[in-house]
């Protein structure tokens, strides 16, 4: 029986792959990868390594998660070194925990290799620090997949009145509802907001606006994209190093 490495591929810029991830990619007999993992990484695998694509679009799985779990497990029965390569960090909305638990129940050895999450690095490449002295003392990474109008929402919207930075992943299709909800709980209409598309890659696009106008400004921007809400967005005026 083999060992599975639940591995973060980083946000897009290939140089943001960790040395540990690179080592296991080079050793892998099979790499099971996502849509968000930079395909350039696969070129670094050894000859004879096989590749299994289990991609998903925007949180909508093409292959259901339980099937992905089983695919990983079946590969671990056949191969020595199985790399499960996932965009960003495997435990930040990456369902790496579910995959690890599935392997644990079947006595398959695994390791977690954290990755640089898009939640922090895409803002960084956009010149937006997620915390900043005197501006934001904390940041939250929140799923944007859930409709804010859901009766049973687990998201503590009422807590979002402060100036702490809020980063929504998987939220582009709900941008309208998210911004409206934030205004509803008391954030001003002119509150700073950014949408970052394809962060850390050469195709990165950054749209800066307010809760009121970001929907219109970000219209048509491609995925993957994340939303940053907070006063830290203004710091881009001084810190925009990547697109300049």
Question: Residue numbers of the site for ligand SAH (CB under 6 A)?
Answer: 11-12, 36, 58, 86-89, 92-94, 117-119, 122, 169-170, 196, 198-200, 224-226
Strand 50-53 versus strand 30-33 pairing type: parallel
* 94/100 with CB nearer ligand SAH: 94
How buried is 110 (Cβ within 10 angstroms: 0-12 exposed, 13-18 middle, 19+ buried)? Answer: buried
* 103/119 with CB nearer ligand SAH: 119
CB of 224 to ligand SAH, least distance (A): 4
Catalytic residue at 198? no
- Please give the structure tokens belonging to residue 156: 């503590």
* 36/79 with CB nearer ligand SAH: 36
Distance of CA 35 to the CA centre of its chain: 11
CB of 48 to ligand SAH, least distance (A): 28
* 171/192 with CB nearer ligand SAH: 171
Task: Name the nearest CA neighbour of 208 among 183, 227, 186, 185.
Answer: 227
Out of 3, 20, 56, 180, which one is annotated catalytic? 56
Catalytic residue at 170? yes
Catalytic residue at 26? no
C-beta of residue 127 within 8 angstroms of C-beta of residue 195: no
* 79/181 with CB nearer ligand SAH: 181
CB of 220 to ligand SAH, least distance (A): 16
Q: Where are the beta strands (DSSP E) in the chain?
A: 3-8, 30-33, 50-53, 56-57, 60-61, 81-86, 109-113, 139-143, 165-169, 192-197, 205-210, 225-229
CB of 43 to ligand SAH, least distance (A): 19
- 192: phi then psi, degrees, rounded to nearest 5: -65, 140
Task: Name the nearest CA neighbour of 175 among 217, 121, 140, 128.
Answer: 217
CB of 161 to ligand SAH, least distance (A): 23
Task: Please report, to the nearest 10 degrees, the dihedral formed by the alpha carbons of residues 39, 22, 223, 218 taken in order.
Answer: -130
Out of 13, 170, 181, 187, which one is annotated catalytic? 170
Residue nearest to ligand SAH (CB): 88
Active-site residue list: 34, 56, 170
């Amino acid at each position: 029986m083999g060992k599975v490495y639940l591995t973060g591929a980083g946000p897009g810029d290939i140089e943001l792959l960790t040395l540990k991830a690179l080592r296991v990619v080079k050793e892998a007999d099979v790499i099971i990868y996502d849509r968000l993992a930079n395909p350039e990484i696969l070129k670094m695998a050894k000859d004879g390594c096989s590749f299994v694509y289990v991609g998903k679009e925007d949180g909508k799985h093409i292959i259901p998660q339980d099937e992905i779990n089983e695919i990983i497990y079946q590969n671990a029965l056949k191969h020595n070194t199985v790399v499960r390569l996932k965009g960003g960090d495997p435990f930040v909305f990456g369902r790496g925990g579910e995959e690890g638990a599935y392997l644990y129940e079947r006595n398959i050895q695994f390791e977690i290799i954290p990755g640089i999450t898009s939640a922090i690095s895409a803002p960084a490449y956009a010149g937006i620090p997620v915390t900043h002295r005197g501006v934001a003392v904390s940041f939250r990474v929140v799923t944007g997949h859930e409709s804010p109008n859901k009766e049973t929402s687990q998201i503590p919207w009422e807590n979002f009145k402060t100036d702490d930075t809020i980063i929504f992943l998987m939220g582009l299709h709900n941008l309208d509802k998210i911004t409206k909800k934030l205004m509803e709980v008391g954030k001003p209409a002119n509150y700073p907001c950014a949408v970052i598309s394809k962060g850390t890659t050469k195709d990165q696009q950054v749209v800066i606006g307010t809760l009121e106008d970001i929907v219109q400004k970000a219209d048509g921007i491609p995925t993957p994209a994340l939303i940053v809400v907070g006063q830290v967005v203004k710091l881009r005026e001084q810190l925009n190093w990547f697109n300049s």
